[in-house]
Amino acid sequence: MQRRYVGGEVKQCIKDGTKQETANCDVIGMHCLTGNDAWQGVMYTHNWADSGHNNAYFGVRSRDMVPEPPSENLLGVVKTTNRKLCFRLCMRVLGCSSFAVGDLNAGNVTCMLLDRELPSTVPKQGWTYYAMKS
C-alpha cells in the first residue's frame, strides 16, 4: 500500500498493484456462491452459466441409489462444505435439474449435478438423489 502525502498529511491510499487473492473455491462454500468474484470464478472453472434463480424446490427421488449419468447429462462433480450448498448450487447453475449428494466426509460432501432427471440405477451407500419439482 502506498500513501500519498500532501503538506505532510496522508491524503490518499493507493493500491500497490499486486493482485488480490481470490477466494479458494476448490471446495465450494457459501462464500463461493455469494461473493461475485468467487462465483464468477466457480462458473468459469466449471464452464457453467448462472441460472438467475433465487429459489427452487427439490424432492427426494432415491436414497442409497444414484444415476449413472452419460457424460452429456453430467454438469459436474464438485465438493461442497455441506448438503445445503449442493441444493443452492444446483439452483444457481443454468440447466441443473437434479443432483446427487453424498454423506459428509472429511468436512465436505460430493455433489453431482445433472441437466435432467435420470433413473437411479447405481447403489451408493449414504447418497441421496434429488430432482427439481416443476
pLDDT in tens, 88-104: 999 999 999 999 999 88
CA distance 70 to 116: 11
User: What pLDDT was estimated at residue 1?
Assistant: 47
Yes or no: say if 34 and 104 are a contact pair by the CB < 8 Å rule. no
Spatial distance between the Cα atoms of 7 and 10, rounded to a whole number of angstroms: 8
H-helix or E-strand spanning residue 122: strand 122-132
d(CA 110, CA 127): 9
Predicted confidence (pLDDT) at residue 13 exceeds the cutoff of 60: no
DSSP string, 78-100: EEESSHHHHHHHHHHBTT--EEE
Pairing, β 27-28 against β 74-80: parallel
Query: Residue 82's Cα: distance from chain center in Å?
Result: 11
State the DSSP string of 25-83: -SEE-HHHHHSHHHHHHHHHHHT--B---S---EEEEEEEEE----GGGEEEEEEESSH
pLDDT of residue 58: 95
Q: Which three cell numbers stand for residue 5?
A: 502525502
| Domains of the chain, residue spans | 21-132
Percent of the chain predicted with pLDDT > 70: 83
pTM of the model: 0.81
